[in-house]
Each structure stands twice: as C-alpha cells, then as structure tokens.
Amino acid sequence: MHQADNFIWCAGGCGSGQIHETGAEQPIVICLHCSGRSCFTHEVAWHDGLTCEEFDSLLADPENFRSRIEVENAAVDEEEARRRAQDAVDHALAGRLAADQEAEERARVERDKQARRKAAEAAEKARKTAARRKREDEQSMATMNRTTKKCPGCSWAIEKNSGCSHMTCTYTLPLGGPIVPTRGLDALRLRCGAYLRLDSQFAGLKCRFEFCWGCYRRWGACRNIQCTGPTAS
C-alpha cells in the first residue's frame, strides 16, 4: 500500500501511513493514528501559517522570506502607524484651531469692551458738552435779558450802549419775515395783530421802528430823551 501514488507516511513520527485521496489539491493530511497533520506536497509536518507556495519560497530564500500573514500584519501596522500619525496631526490642528478661536473670542470681547467704553466716553462727552452749552445759553440769555430789550416792532434784541432814550431799530428784515408797523406801513397790519409776510420786493427792508428805551413806548407817545421808566413823562 505504501507504494500507491497517494500514499504518505505520517510526518509526526508515529510510524503510520495512509492514502491521501485528494493528493496535492488538498495537501493537509491528518493522520488516522495520531491525528497529526502533515504536508502531502513536502512530506513534512504541516507548515502552519504558510501555504505550500509560501513554504517553497521560505525554503528558497529563508533570510528574505515574508509570509502572507507577515505582509498583511506589516500593512496593518503601517496603516495603524499612519492613522496614529494622522490623529496626532488632527489633534494638533484641532488644538491650534481651538487656541485661535479662543484668541479670536478674547479679541472680540476686548473689541466689544473698548467699543462700549468709547461709546460711554462719547455719551459722557456729549452730556458735558450739552450741559456746558445749556449753561452758556442760559448765561447768554440772562445777559441778553439784562442788557437788551426787544424792539416792539420786530422783536429783535437791541442793546443800548450809550446815548439818550430815543431808539431806532436798524434790523434788516429777511425775505419772508414779518412786516412791522413802521412809518407808512401801519396799514399792512392785520386785525388779528399778525403782520403780512414780505414779498421779494421788500427784501432788505429795515425795521426803523422808533421807541423809548425807558418806558418802552413808541417814540412820539414819549419824547423824553432822559426817560428811565413808565412813570417818566
């Protein structure tokens, strides 16, 4: 029987042999006596982890041989190393992005703080300016009320520096301003007490209203050049 084409001795050394019907097509032979595994092609104990072709390559160049499993493991290790390297790069990039975002947020908060501070300073400056102008206007108005009188004809403020009580208003009426009851224009006064508006033909007309500085009456009703008040004649 040991001379049959598909006969093989057990490579495990149990001394048993058997016919392997499938031959080299299925090279793993399991001993019927000891259950050891042998390689039908190479007649040695089965080379675990290696195909017959790989076992041939191992025998041909044992120093440079790398099995399929070793190649796959190396590829897996290389891919894992690449993944870890990429993870490290991604982590570093994420850290930089987070740091940049944090820095940008701090800068935004600082810009907002400065903008609010400038707005508050501008508002405070505006309040102080408005208060100063109000005080100045009140002081100017008080000074004007103390040192000037309104013309009874056109209501323009007049200041008397010197001279007698006979005043003549020299205010030039603007276009569209009221016509005042001066000489020759009394007929233009309306019954309601208002005055007609100037047409373009009256542009530049002077008020020329005459009144007494002391008693504030039309000049003529009072002709006292030394008049100091309503009781004077």
* pLDDT value, residue 118: 93
Residue 181's pLDDT band (cuts 50, 70, 90) = very low
Phi-psi region of 3 (alpha: psi -120 to 50; beta: other; left: phi over 0): alpha
Please tell me whether residues 76 and 31 are part of one structural domain. no
The one-character DSSP state at 218 is B
* pLDDT value, residue 22: 87
Give the separation between CA 211 and CA 160, rounded to whole angstroms. Answer: 12
Residue 186 belongs to some domain of the structure: no
What are the tens digits of pLDDT across the range 130-178?
999 999 999 988 888 888 888 888 888 888 888 899 999 888 766 554 4
Q: Which domain holds residue 119?
A: 69-148
Last residue of a domain, one of 50, 65, 80: 65
Please tell me whether residues 78 and 112 are part of one structural domain. yes
Dihedral pair phi/psi, residue 29, rounded to 5°: -115, 125
Taking the model in full, what pTM does it have? 0.38
Q: Return the higher-pLDDT residue of 179 and 59.
A: 59
Lowest mean pLDDT across 37-51, 162-176, 190-204: 190-204
Please tell me whether residues 41 and 109 are part of one structural domain. no
* pLDDT value, residue 194: 37
Please tell me whether residues 32 and 82 are part of one structural domain. no
Residue 194 belongs to some domain of the structure: no
Dihedral pair phi/psi, residue 194, rounded to 5°: -80, 175
Please tell me whether residues 87 and 111 are part of one structural domain. yes
Give the separation between CA 165 and CA 216, rounded to whole angstroms. Answer: 9
Please tell me whether residues 86 and 55 are part of one structural domain. no
* pLDDT value, residue 45: 92
Residue 231 belongs to some domain of the structure: no
Residue 160 belongs to some domain of the structure: yes
Residue 101 belongs to some domain of the structure: yes
Residue 167 belongs to some domain of the structure: yes
Please tell me whether residues 144 and 157 are part of one structural domain. no
**How many domains are there within the chain?**
3
Lowest mean pLDDT across 19-23, 43-47, 150-154, 196-200: 196-200
Last residue of a domain, one of 29, 49, 65: 65
Please tell me whether residues 141 and 163 are part of one structural domain. no
Please tell me whether residues 103 and 88 are part of one structural domain. yes
Please tell me whether residues 85 and 105 are part of one structural domain. yes
**12, 7, 6: which is closest to 33 by C-alpha?**
12
* pLDDT value, residue 2: 55
Give the separation between CA 116 and CA 36, rounded to whole angstroms. Answer: 88
Last residue of a domain, one of 65, 80, 97: 65
Please tell me whether residues 45 and 73 are part of one structural domain. no
pLDDT at 233 over 50: no
Report yes or no: 18 and 29 within 8 Å, Cβ to Cβ.
yes
pLDDT more than 90, % of the chain: 33
Give the separation between CA 94 and CA 233, rounded to whole angstroms. Answer: 99
Residue 103's pLDDT band (cuts 50, 70, 90) = very high
Lowest mean pLDDT across 67-71, 73-77, 195-199: 195-199
Residue 36 belongs to some domain of the structure: yes
Residue 161 belongs to some domain of the structure: yes
Please tell me whether residues 42 and 76 are part of one structural domain. no
Dihedral pair phi/psi, residue 90, rounded to 5°: -65, -40
